[in-house]
Each structure stands twice: as C-alpha cells, then as structure tokens.
C-alpha cells in the first residue's frame, strides 16, 4: 500500500510492530512502514557506551512515532513531520 499523505494528523497508538533493525557501535536504527499512513519511517536509539554488547538490548521495548516526513496537517508549531501514530517495537539488539 502506498504512503497516504492525505491523512490528517491524529495521535493514535498502534500495537507492537515488527521493523527492520540495523545495529552499529552504540546505536540501533529501526526502520519500517508506519502502520497508519504506510510511510517509511525510522528511528535511531542510542544504546549506551561504546563497547556495550548490543545483545543486552534484545527484547527491550522501544517507542516509535511516525516520522514519514509528510506534514499530515500537523499543528503549525510542531517541528516534527508524521501522521501522529506511535507504537512499540521490541529491540533485537543486533
């Protein structure tokens, strides 16, 4: 399904989602499709000090918000771009 940029902004919680994860030294980047507007979104989580085993983050929940880049009629004072959806992903830790 293509990205629906016509949706108006609405803060709405979605259940846990499965996203692709890319782990590098000190960070985990989670990427996937917003469950509401279907736009590509990603978020990078800092996982602590360099040298910490990323596997220690396996199974830890993390909250994501839509960051698809579309305005979705967000309030004018907002510095974010996305439809307002938010959800939880379980970090795998790479």
Contact between 34 and 85 under an 8 Å Cβ cutoff? The reply is: yes
Count of C-beta atoms within a 10 Å radius of residue 22: 12
pLDDT value at residue 12: 95
Encoding tokens for residue 37?
A: 């507007």
pLDDT band at 85 (very low <50, low <70, confident <90, very high): very high
Lowest-confidence segment of 13-17, 18-22, 65-69, 78-82 by average pLDDT: 78-82
Domain boundaries, the chain: 12-91
Per residue, the 3-state secondary structure of 46-85, as one string, reads ECCCCCCCHHHHCCEEEEEECCCCCCCCCCCCCCCCCCCE
Contact between 19 and 39 under an 8 Å Cβ cutoff? The reply is: no
Encoding tokens for residue 29?
A: 């980047």
- pLDDT tens readout for residues 4-52: 999 999 999 999 999 998 887 778 899 999 999 999 999 988 776 555 5
Greatest mean pLDDT among 9-23, 48-62, 80-94: 9-23
């Amino acid at each position: 399904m293509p990205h629906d940029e016509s949706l108006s902004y609405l803060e709405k919680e979605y259940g846990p989602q499965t996203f692709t994860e890319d782990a590098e030294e000190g960070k985990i980047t989670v990427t996937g499709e917003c469950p509401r507007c279907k736009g590509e979104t990603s978020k990078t989580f800092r996982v602590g000090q360099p040298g910490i085993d990323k596997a220690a983050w396996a199974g830890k929940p993390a909250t994501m918000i839509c960051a698809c880049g579309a305005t979705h009629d967000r309030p004018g004072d907002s510095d974010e771009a996305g439809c307002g959806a938010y959800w939880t992903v379980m970090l795998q830790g790479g």
